[in-house]
Chain A
Amino acid sequence: MVPLSCYLVLSGILFACGVAGFLIKRNIITIFMSIELMLNGANLSFVAFAAQWKALSGQIFVFFVMVVAAAEAAVGLAIIIAVFRTRETLNVDRVNLLKL
């Protein structure tokens, strides 16, 4: 049986990687992936606790998060494509104006 603390540490590492990627990277797609990483870090701690305390609500929460993440991915990728079409770049530092 893997102890709970390992899951939590892994979840923390995943989340920290997500944060770091979000802050450092300039490519929108990478940033997008970093956000997914953070969400999944959180998901991992949810399921870990749920398994530990034998509570079902944690598991169900994860499904919700996954659904929202999927929806977000769909919308987000659509936006990214729209951005790329108008500005021909994926560098966020260039995408700092709301209006062209």
Chain B
Amino acid sequence: MTPNFHLWLIPLLPLFGAAINGLFGRRFGRKLAASVGLTFSGAACAQGLWVALEFSSLGTGLYRESLAVWIHAGDLHVDFAFYLDQLSLIMLLIVSGVGFLIHIYSVGYMGKEAGLYRFFSYLNLFLFFMLTLVLASNYLLMFVGWEGVGLASYLLIGFWFTKDQAASAGKKAFIANRIGDFGFLIGLFLLIKHFGSLDFESLFASIQLRSPETQSAGLLTSIALLLMVGACGKSAQIPLYVWLPDAMEGPTPVSALIHAATMVTAGIYMIARSHLIFDRAPVAGMTVAILGTLTAFFAATIAIVQTDIKKVLAYSTISQLGYMFLACGVAAYTAGIFHLMTHAFFKGLLFLAAGAVMHATGGEQDMRAMGGLRTKIPWTFWTMTMATFAIAGIPPLAGFFSKDEILWQAYASARGSWLYWLLGVITASMTSFYMFRLWFLTFFGEYRGGRAQTHLPAQPAGPGGQAGGHNLPRVPSEHGGIHESPKVMLVPMVILAVLSVVGGWVSYHHTFENFLSPVFRGAGAASAVETRPSSSAGESPLEESGERETLFTTLSVAAAAFGFFLAWLLYHRRPELPKSIAHEILGLYHTVLHKYYVDELYAILFVNPLLKGSAKLLWRGIDQNVIDAGLDASAHATRRLSDTMRHMQSGNLRSYAGWMSLGAAAVIAYMVWTGIP
């Protein structure tokens, strides 16, 4: 007998928390609001853990729970149903676990904030939607969660809504996501039209019946491409990545939870979930891989020159998401999900640590005004060190295993290419470089902060974004100057640091891969057979592949070490060098500093034409000249007509009698003329 997991409770618990805080939170004190938020997210996390422990008791590794019929129209059935397999279990653990840790952290970080209840309400709401997304058993319910996390993200980015930048950053995120969602929706419509179902199990069963050679290949490719557009929006890939850097206007725990660890990985989850479609659409897979590689590469180059600590991490997130995209594109879904998990640990931690640094320095975000913090905030320093080494890919930390796996698959998988690998390795060394740059600038050298220096030349601002916006309401420096964060913030950081260290070891002996293999059965089998050094051809190719894997691993570690060395040289040993180098390549430097002018380009290409078009054509043209004018004209006509007609009503009885007899005569004449008896 299969156990009853009551999966529906997992998303609903945070929803209760959100409702309680949202409806009555205004009357709560800080402690009560925070404890409501923590209780419900913690309960969801606990139930997630319980489900994970009980999961092995499922023989098949599949669990479905249908609550109610949602839509029943013609052949289309959509239920409120939840679905648990290895993939959603991992996502469930990441979301609820990291989510709960960040809830705890927020108690410390946001503790002095006005509207704390609002913050926890939004945060719980986010958890509700995200858990719905990962536990949904059909695309439509997933889409509900998908839109919902977009909403929660909008609300949380604009949490400090009185600040103009924050409000517009929220709007930008929402709109960029809408573009992607549009593609996602059309993909869903195509699925309904051609397969008549949105439920994962039945849909994939009917897709599996079709082989790539049949005529539906083009259809599947277009569906996959449309789904990919959706994933691009949510997971901040080229060309829709522009919202993520601006999203850093939100509070730092939000950046950690939504814009690093969980929400932005929804796109990768969705692609992995739809891997049967992508397996049968090689062109779409290739597009995903190319987009991922390019995103990883370009975002890394931008991250190198950013001076805002959160912006560096934001571009780094985009870059790492690019890696995951690349993995999904070359059908190495396991590697992608693996990186997703480790990334959730170390990137979440990096943001939390950045928040702790900002907390320590009174809201400073500019790395040029930091430095020498190593001894002043040792806990933050050490946890951040773990995360930095993990993301840079230094063995044996988590990031090393997952990134190495992706790079190897990018080369060795059937859809891989050495080009992906090369760009990936270059990106890896850039990753290592910018992360250690951040590390050195923040924690080493002399402390460059102080009130006098906060007026450093601000970083160029994109249309939507602005650097140097101090997120934290400044803690007065009398508040003990630079100080370590409270324990409530440090504990989640330490837990995440431990996970960043050991998180990669689950791949030992392919444990992780075997665990996920039932989900990616088709893809796994395909890549095992198609792996370039054909594994079925006997011993020696296998050995050769093993050797090559070792070589590749060595190369990627070397790349990371090179990045470390370069950062050490430029930002620790010879801190005057970066300026002169930047001076040498001034044009390139400025282009990168301005993020390749992508925001400006979008403004010219899309935003301004849209603005002008709607102002001139839609507003003045159609609304004023057609709709309003038409309405006015009909009103005028009515008035003029009644002006004439009112003379009929003179008040003179005999004229009424005259009109009456005229009317009667007209009626009689009509009847005589038409011959009505």
A residues 40-56 in Cβ contact with B at 8 Å:
none
Q: Mark B658-676, 1 if CB is under 8 A from A, else 0.
A: 1001000000000000000
- Any B CB within 8 A of the CB of A23: yes
- Any A CB within 8 A of the CB of B646: no
- Any B CB within 8 A of the CB of A39: no
How many A residues face the partner with a CB closer than 8 A?
5
| A residues near B651, Cβ cutoff 8 Å | 96
Q: Mark A79-100, 1 if CB is under 8 A from B, else 0.
A: 0000000000000100010000
Report whether B654 and A19 are in contact in the complex, using a CB–CB cutoff of 8 Å: no
Chain A at the B interface: mostly helix, strand, loop or mixed?
helix
Report whether B653 and A22 are in contact in the complex, using a CB–CB cutoff of 8 Å: no
Docked pose: A96 CA to B11 CA in angstroms: 80
Report whether A19 and B661 are in contact in the complex, using a CB–CB cutoff of 8 Å: yes
Report whether B653 and A23 are in contact in the complex, using a CB–CB cutoff of 8 Å: no
Min Cβ gap A65→B in Å is 18
- Any A CB within 8 A of the CB of B209: no
Docked pose: A19 CA to B653 CA in angstroms: 14
| B residues near A22, Cβ cutoff 8 Å | 654, 657
Q: Mark B431-443, 1 if CB is under 8 A from A, else 0.
A: 0000000000000
| A residues near B652, Cβ cutoff 8 Å | 96
| A residues near B658, Cβ cutoff 8 Å | 23
Q: Mark B160-198, 1 if CB is under 8 A from A, else 0.
A: 000000000000000000000000000000000000000
Report whether B654 and A92 are in contact in the complex, using a CB–CB cutoff of 8 Å: yes
Docked pose: A92 CA to B654 CA in angstroms: 9
| A residues near B661, Cβ cutoff 8 Å | 19, 23
| B residues near A19, Cβ cutoff 8 Å | 661
Min Cβ gap A72→B in Å is 17
**12 pairs of residues in contact across A and B, judged by CB atoms under 8 Å:** A19-B661, A22-B654, A22-B657, A23-B654, A23-B657, A23-B658, A23-B661, A92-B653, A92-B654, A96-B651, A96-B652, A96-B653
Chain B at the A interface: mostly helix, strand, loop or mixed?
helix
Docked pose: A96 CA to B658 CA in angstroms: 17
How many B residues face the partner with a CB closer than 8 A?
7
Residues of B whose CB lies within 8 Å of any CB of A are: 651-654, 657-658, 661
Q: Mark A14-27, 1 if CB is under 8 A from B, else 0.
A: 00000100110000
Docked pose: A23 CA to B651 CA in angstroms: 15
Docked pose: A6 CA to B26 CA in angstroms: 94
Min Cβ gap A17→B in Å is 12
Docked pose: A19 CA to B661 CA in angstroms: 8
Closest residue of B by beta carbon distance from A25: B654
* Supplied contacts A92-B653, A92-B654, A96-B652, 9 more A-B pairs, CB within 8 Å: A19-B661, A22-B654, A22-B657, A23-B654, A23-B657, A23-B658, A23-B661, A96-B651, A96-B653
Docked pose: A96 CA to B655 CA in angstroms: 13
Min Cβ gap A98→B in Å is 12
- Nearest first, the 8 closest Cβ-Cβ pairs linking A and B are A19-B661, A23-B658, A23-B654, A23-B657, A22-B657, A92-B654, A23-B661, A92-B653
| A residues near B654, Cβ cutoff 8 Å | 22-23, 92
Listed residue (B651, B654, B657) with the most chain A CB atoms within 10 angstroms of its CB: B654
Closest residue of A by beta carbon distance from B651: A96
| A residues near B657, Cβ cutoff 8 Å | 22-23
Min Cβ gap A87→B in Å is 16
Docked pose: A96 CA to B661 CA in angstroms: 21
Closest residue of B by beta carbon distance from A26: B654
Docked pose: A34 CA to B653 CA in angstroms: 15
Closest residue of A by beta carbon distance from B665: A19
Docked pose: A22 CA to B654 CA in angstroms: 8
| B residues near A96, Cβ cutoff 8 Å | 651-653
Listed residue (B652, B653, B658, B661) with the most chain A CB atoms within 10 angstroms of its CB: B661
Docked pose: A39 CA to B53 CA in angstroms: 102
| B residues near A23, Cβ cutoff 8 Å | 654, 657-658, 661
Docked pose: A96 CA to B650 CA in angstroms: 12
Min Cβ gap A46→B in Å is 17
Closest residue of B by beta carbon distance from A20: B661
Docked pose: A23 CA to B658 CA in angstroms: 6
Docked pose: A23 CA to B665 CA in angstroms: 14
Docked pose: A19 CA to B668 CA in angstroms: 15
Min Cβ gap B667→A in Å is 14
Min Cβ gap A21→B in Å is 11
Closest residue of B by beta carbon distance from A24: B654
Closest residue of A by beta carbon distance from B661: A19
Min Cβ gap A59→B in Å is 23
Min Cβ gap A32→B in Å is 14
Docked pose: A22 CA to B652 CA in angstroms: 13
Min Cβ gap A41→B in Å is 13
Docked pose: A38 CA to B628 CA in angstroms: 53
Min Cβ gap A18→B in Å is 10
| B residues near A92, Cβ cutoff 8 Å | 653-654
Docked pose: A2 CA to B658 CA in angstroms: 33
Min Cβ gap A79→B in Å is 14
Closest residue of A by beta carbon distance from B664: A19
Closest residue of B by beta carbon distance from A31: B654
Min Cβ gap B190→A in Å is 74
Min Cβ gap A74→B in Å is 22
Docked pose: A96 CA to B651 CA in angstroms: 9
Docked pose: A22 CA to B659 CA in angstroms: 13
Closest residue of B by beta carbon distance from A23: B658
Docked pose: A22 CA to B657 CA in angstroms: 8
Closest residue of A by beta carbon distance from B652: A96
Docked pose: A19 CA to B664 CA in angstroms: 11
Docked pose: A2 CA to B508 CA in angstroms: 124
Min Cβ gap B41→A in Å is 80
Min Cβ gap B165→A in Å is 74
Min Cβ gap A96→B in Å is 8
| A residues near B653, Cβ cutoff 8 Å | 92, 96
Docked pose: A10 CA to B617 CA in angstroms: 70
Closest residue of B by beta carbon distance from A15: B661
Docked pose: A85 CA to B657 CA in angstroms: 26
Docked pose: A90 CA to B55 CA in angstroms: 107
